[in-house]
Chains A and B, each alone.
Chain A
Amino acid sequence: AQSVTQPDIHITVSEGASLELRCNYSYGATPYLFWYVQSPGQGLQLLLKYFSGDTLVQGIKGFEAEFKRSQSSFNLRKPSVHWSDAAEYFCAVGGNSGNTPLVFGKGTRLSVIA
Chain B
Amino acid sequence: DAGITQSPRHKVTETGTPVTLRCHQTENHRYMYWYRQDPGHGLRLIHYSYGVKDTDKGEVSDGYSVSRSKTEDFLLTLESATSSQTSVYFCAIRLDRDGNTIYFGEGSWLTVV
A, B co-complexed: no
Q: Which residues of A contact B (CB under 8 A)?
A: none
